[in-house]
Amino acid sequence: MNHPLRFGLKLSGQDCTIEDLRRVWRIADDEGFDHVWDFDHLASIGDGGPDRPIFEGWSLQAAMAEATKRTRIGCLVTGNTYRNPALLAKTAATVDHLSGGRLEFGIGAAWAEIEHEMYGFEGLDHRVGRLSESLRIIKSLWTEERTNFDGRYYRMKDAIANPKPVQKPHPPIWIGASGETTMRLVARYADVWNAAGGDPSRVGELTVMLEQACAAVGRNPTEIRRSIQFGWDGASRAQLIEQAGGFLEGGITEQVVYLRGKDPVALAHKVAEALPELRKLDTARVRS
């Protein structure tokens, strides 16, 4: 299955202002990007410690929905342990309606130990099992009139979730995964696999893992789109094109440029200037 090549921008919501975020969302919408993203953390991550400014990811997606008209929106990726699955299903359906059916639903098992310690979130030690149950519950809430579920971690009794999402049967599900157990969930539930961590050197290894997981459940791996996020410093457009081309050769058709640094808006403009050349990669692939 030959999936189209699509490009997005990601500004996490950390170490930036609301105006920076709004300007990046407008660039994505006005310049023809396919999607625009944030991330889902409650305390800042990376160098500099957990006390830097950071905004909540699903609130930002609601704002994205109102600030844009065309581009699709999402979170790479939601941390499952931070929310009850019924709350997450309801929040996602609300954003899908606010956006007129443009939500891409990104989710992963969560990993940030310090957030679980700081805020008292449970479940990091059983995060894959919790994600498995959440995916089953969320899909049921989006598609069934009543949801009953009696699992190890979550229980639903005649649970109602109306309105259903705009998109049918539900918004595309992106699952971030880089391990054998989470890759099994990708094989069962995902429309898009996100190569969690974005390490280019592991793409081939992880792709083999995905194909093995799909074989185990009887699913054609070509049904699942493949995605990655990667950084660019804005210095060499040729480097950006080469990197995107390399990912495309590896079968990754959903590519997200992660805007890092002191001036993410200027960097977003530079990626937008390169977008016509990035689009030509897909044309070259079709011709070959």
Instruction: Please list the pLDDT of the chain residue by residue as tens digits (288 residues).
Output: 789 999 999 999 999 999 999 999 999 999 999 999 999 999 999 988 999 999 999 999 999 999 999 999 999 999 999 999 999 999 999 999 999 999 999 999 999 999 999 999 999 999 999 999 999 999 999 999 999 999 999 999 999 999 999 999 999 999 999 999 999 999 999 999 999 766 677 888 999 999 999 999 999 999 999 999 999 999 999 999 999 999 999 999 999 999 999 999 999 999 999 999 999 998 877 555
This prediction's pTM: 0.96
Q: Give me the pLDDT at residue 286, please.
A: 58
Bridge partners (DSSP) listed for residue 230: 257
With beta carbons less than 8 A apart as the criterion, state whether 247 and 222 touch: no
Peptide bond into 24 cis (omega under 30): no
Q: What is the pLDDT of residue 200?
A: 72
pLDDT at res. 96 = 98
6-287 CATH pick, 1.10.10.10, 3.40.50.150, 3.40.50.300, 3.20.20.30: 3.20.20.30
Tokens at 39, concatenated? 């991330």
What single-letter amino acid sits at 112? A
Greatest Cα pair distance, the chain, in angstroms, is 56
Round to whole Å and give the CA distance between 108 and 185.
10
Angle CA 257–74–83, to nearest 5: 125
Check residue 203 and give its pLDDT: 86
How far the first Cα of the chain sits from its last, in Å, is 15
